[in-house]
Amino acid sequence: MVKFGFALNPSSRIDLDKTDREKFAQLVELEPDVLKCMACGSCTASCTAGKFTPTSVRSAILEIQNGRWQQALDMLKGCLLCGKCTMVCPRAINTRHLILAINEVYQSGK
Amino acid sequence: MIYQGKQKIWSDYQKEIPDDHYFYVRSCIRQNLFPASEKTFLDITRNKLGKDFFETEHHTTCGGIAYHCDTIPQETSMTIIARQFALMQKYGYENYVCSCITSFGLYTETLETWREFPELEARIKENLWKTCKLEFAKPKYLAHASDIIYKYRNLIAAQAKYKLINRHTGKPLRVVEHIGCHYGKMFPSKSVGGAEYPYVLAGMIEAWGGEVIDYPERRHCCGYGFRQYHIRSNRGYSLANTYKKFESMEPYKPDMIITNCPGCPYFLDRWQYVISEMEGKTYGENGHGIPVFTYEEVAGLVMGYNPWDLGLQMHQIGPEPVLDKIGIPYDPQAKYLL
Amino acid sequence: MKNIVVIGGGPAGLEASAQLHRLGYNVILVEKSPQLGGHLAKWDRLFPSGIPAKDVLEKMVSQINGVKYFLEANVQSINLLHKSYNVILNNGITVLADAVLFTTGFDLFPAQKKEEYGYGIYEKVITNADLENWFKTKKDNRVTENPKRIGFVHCVGSRDEKAGNRYCSKVCCATAVKQACEIKQEFPDVEVFCFYMDLRMFGRGYEDMYLSAQKDYGVRFIRGRVSEVAENINKELIVKAEDTLSGKPIKVTLDLLVLMSGMQNCSEGTKVAHQLGIANAGNDGFFETKDAIYSQQHSTREGIFFAGACTGPKTLPDSLSEARAAAIEIHNYVKGIR
C-alpha cells in the first residue's frame, strides 16, 4: 500500500436507516416517557453533574433516537440520580427512571 | 424519476447562447491535466462546424485558484478579468467564452457584483488604467465552453461517427454527468437546466446516444475545493467527498463519467487510484476504475478523433473499456508515442 | 334590497354569505371552480380533533339557502359608479353592488418551486394536499402498502425568502402533526419523521396533538430543514437534513415524503383586486387591511371588505370568525352606521 500522508476523513453523518428500533421499543416499554421529550434543555441546564461532566439527559435521549446509544451511556455516566431534572421537566418525564431504564436496556446489549 | 418533471425545469432554465463569434479563453490547469481538450474544442468549433472562435496568447489566468485559495483579494482578480475584457474588446468581440468552470463562476460573480455595486466597477476601471493603460467593455454575452458544445450538440451528432452505445449489447452507455459547482450553484439562472438538475451535459449525452444516470449524490461536489486539496492536511476530506460520490454511483454500474470542470475530472480520475490503494476498492469493471472524460474528449470521440490525439493517455483510468464498448479503433502500441 | 357581492366560495365566502343573507341582503356569491367549498372540499379531516371536513362543509352549504351563487364564474371587471360597485362576471351577469367582500382565500404554494425537494420529479414526493386526497379517496399510486419510513417537511414555501414567502403559513405545523398521526393510524409499523424548524402549535388543543403524536404514535420530530432529496436505485428517497439539536447531518431513506406547502395569496383574487388598486399593498402578497388590529375586515377603499386567508394565513375557525365579523361590518357600512 502506498503511503499518501492522509486518509479518508470519517463521516459525521447520522444514518437514521440504521437505528435499532427493537431496543428502542424495549426502552419505551420500560419508560414510555422517553417519547415525550421536546428538547427544551431544562434537565441539562439544572444538572448537578452537567457542568463538570458531559452529562445531559436531553442529549442522551437524542443520541438514542439517532441510534448512538453508546454515546448516550457515556453521557449518563456522571449522573448522581439527584432528581433535579425530574423536578424541572415541563413534560413531567420521570427522568431518574428513564436514566436507569436506558442503562438497563442498552448496557445489557453490550 | 419522472422525466417530464425534469423537462419542465430544464425549460425554465434555458439561457440564450449566441450561435457564433466568440472570444475564447483557456483554463490555466486544463492544458496540463487534459492537454488536448481545448485544442479539440477549437478544432471542432472552427474546422468541423465553421464557427468563429478567436483566441490570443496575451490572455492570462483569471486568478480564480488564487482567489479561492485566499491568496489574492477579489479586487485583484477583478482587475485581471477586466484586462481579459479589454483584450476581447481590442480584437472586436462581444461574446466571451471561457474553458474553465471556476473562471465562468468568477466572471459571473464579477459581472453581478459590478451590477450591484457600480462604484466597484469604476474602481476596477481605474486600477486597469493605472496598471496597464487599458480600457475595457463588459461582454454582451458570457458563456462557458460546455454551453457552446451543448448548443452545438445536435450539429456534432449529425457529424458523429460513433454513438454512446454499447455495440455488444446495443444498449446506451450508462453515463454519470458531473457539473462543476461554480457552473450553476452560485447563479442557477446562468446555467443550462438550473443547479439542481443541470441539463448542459445531460443534453450532450442524450444527443449522442447515451443514458444519463441520476444517482443520490449527483449534485455533490467532487471534493476538490481549493485550499481543501492544495493543503495536504485537508486532503482527506477532499478525498472523502469523492469517495462518497463513488459509493453512491456504484450500484448503477456506470460505463463512464463526463464532466465540465477542470478540477472534477482530474479528481474523479486520480482519486479512484488513491481509493483503490487506500481502501482496496475499485468501481469499474474487472478491478479497474470508471473512465472519466471531459465533454470535449467525448465530443471528439463521437466525431471520430484518434483517442490518443485527444490526450486520453493522460488519464489515470484507462479509457480502453469505453473505446471497446463504442467500437472506436485505437492502436495500443501508439498510446504513449506522441 | 341592497346587493352584496362576495368573491370566493370557500368557507369564509359561504359563512359571510349566509350571515349577510340572514341580515336581509341580496347576496351574490361568485366562485371560480365548479364546486363550493374551496380547499375545504378537498380536505379529509380537520385538526385538532379530526372532524371530517365533509361534515363542516355540508353544514356551511346548508346555511346558504337563498343566496344566489355562480359556479365557474370570474369577476371580469369591477369599478366604482357613484357609491356602488359595478361588477361584471364572465357569464354575462352584471351587479350593482353596495359592498363587495373578498373571500378569495389562498393558493397552496407550488411545491415544485422548491426544486431541491423534487416534487414532480421524484415519484414518492407528494404534498399535504395530495395526502389529504389520498386519505379521502385512498387513490394515489405514490402511496404504497407497507411503507417503512415516511417523512414530513414543514415550511415548504414558507419562512423562505428565496421561495418569495418570508412569512409563516400558520397551519402547516398542525396539519403535519395531524397527518403524521393519521398515517400512523393507516400504517402502524411505519416510522414517521417530521422535519421542522420551530413547531408552531399555537391553537387550543394543538399542543395536545403534538404530545399525542410523540407519546401515542411515536412520531420522531427532527429539528432541521430538509436540504436535498434524491432517489436511489430502488426508487426510494434519500433525504438530507441536519439534526440541529445534535449539530450533525442526517440521512434517511424514505418511502414517501410529504411536503407541507404553505399559503400564498390567491392569484385569481389578486387579479380582481388589481382593478381596484388594492392588490399590492402588502409586501407579503396578501391584501393590506385598513388597520392591522382594529379594522381587519376593511380594505383601504370604501365599500370593499376582506375576510379569511386573503389577508394572511388563517386557520378555518379564524376564517369563519372573520366572515361573521365582515358581515356585521358590511351591515354597519350599508346602514351608514359609523
- Cβ-defined contact of A14 to C250 (cutoff 8 Å): yes
Asked whether residue C131 falls in the same domain as residue C15, the answer is no
For residue B313, is pLDDT > 90?
A: yes
Reported as a single tens digit per residue, the pLDDT across C66-103 is 899 999 999 999 999 988 999 999 999 999 999 999 99
Minimum mean pLDDT among B136-145, B298-307, C78-87: which range? C78-87
The CATH number fitting domain B160-332, selected from 3.40.50.11810, 3.30.750.24, 3.40.630.150, 3.40.50.300: 3.40.50.11810
Q: Which residues of C touch A17 (CB under 8 A)?
A: 149, 251-253
From C236, C261, C286, the end of a domain falls on C261
User: Over pLDDT 70: what percentage of chain B?
Assistant: 100
User: Over pLDDT 90: what percentage of chain A?
Assistant: 92
Task: Give me the CATH number covering residue C235.
Answer: 3.50.50.60
Q: What is the ipTM of this complex?
A: 0.94
Strand partners, C69: C29
Give CA–CA dist B132/B96, Å, rounded.
Answer: 21
The shortest CB-CB distance from C115 to any of B196, B218, B252 is to: B196
* Positions of chain C with pLDDT lower than 70, given as ranges: 280-282, 338
Q: Band of the pLDDT at B269, cuts 50, 70, 90?
A: very high
Strand order in the sheet with B141-144: B53-54, B22-25, B95-98, B141-144
From C261, C296, C312, the end of a domain falls on C261
Asked whether residue C178 falls in the same domain as residue C301, the answer is no
Reported as a single tens digit per residue, the pLDDT across B192-203 is 999 999 999 999
Reported as a single tens digit per residue, the pLDDT across A54-72 is 999 999 999 999 999 999 9
Judged by a CB distance cut-off of 8 A, whether residue C139 touches chain A is no
Reported as a single tens digit per residue, the pLDDT across B50-79 is 999 999 999 999 999 999 988 999 999 999
- Residue C150's pLDDT is 98
Asked whether residue C215 falls in the same domain as residue C253, the answer is yes
Q: How far is A6 from chain C (nearest CA, A)?
A: 23
- Cβ-defined contact of C231 to B196 (cutoff 8 Å): no
- Cβ-defined contact of C230 to B216 (cutoff 8 Å): yes
Domain that holds residue C38: 3-105+266-334
Three-class DSSP category at C122: strand
Chain C residue with Cα closest to B247: C232
- Cβ-defined contact of A8 to B244 (cutoff 8 Å): no
Q: How far is B257 from chain C (nearest CA, A)?
A: 18
- Cβ-defined contact of B217 to C230 (cutoff 8 Å): yes
Residues 235-254 on C with a CB inside 8 Å of A are: 243, 245-246, 248-253
Give CA–CA dist B225/B242, Å, rounded.
Answer: 11
Cis peptide before C48 (omega within 30 of 0): yes
Chain A residue with Cα closest to B233: A6
B19-145: what fold? Glutathione S-transferase Yfyf (Class Pi); Chain A, domain 2 (1.20.1050)
- Cβ-defined contact of B240 to A8 (cutoff 8 Å): yes
Chain C residue with Cα closest to B6: C121
From C261, C294, C310, the end of a domain falls on C261
Q: Which residues of C touch A16 (CB under 8 A)?
A: 149, 193, 250-252
Q: Which chains, if any, share at least 3 CB pairs under 8 A with chain C?
A: A, B
Q: Band of the pLDDT at B147, cuts 50, 70, 90?
A: very high
Judged by a CB distance cut-off of 8 A, whether residue A15 touches chain B is no
Show Cβ contacts of residue B293 under 8 Å, excluding neighbours closer than 6 positions: B256, B257, B258, B259, B265, B301, B312, B319, B322
Asked whether residue C221 falls in the same domain as residue C274, the answer is no
For residue B149, is pLDDT > 70?
A: yes
- Residue C2's pLDDT is 94
Mean pLDDT, to the nearest integer, of A74-91?
96
pTM of the model: 0.95
What is the number of structural domains in chain C? 2
- Residue B226's pLDDT is 85
Q: What are the structural domain ranges in chain A?
A: 38-107
How many Cβ atoms are within 10 Å of C302's Cβ, its own excluded?
A: 12
Mean pLDDT, to the nearest integer, of B122-146?
97
Asked whether residue C127 falls in the same domain as residue C214, the answer is yes
Mean pLDDT, to the nearest integer, of B208-222?
96
Q: Could you tell me how far CA B64 lies from the centroid of its own chain?
A: 15
- Residue B46's pLDDT is 98
Judged by a CB distance cut-off of 8 A, whether residue A90 touches chain B is no
Give CA–CA dist C195/C140, Å, rounded.
Answer: 23
Q: What are the structural domain ranges in chain B?
A: 19-145, 160-332
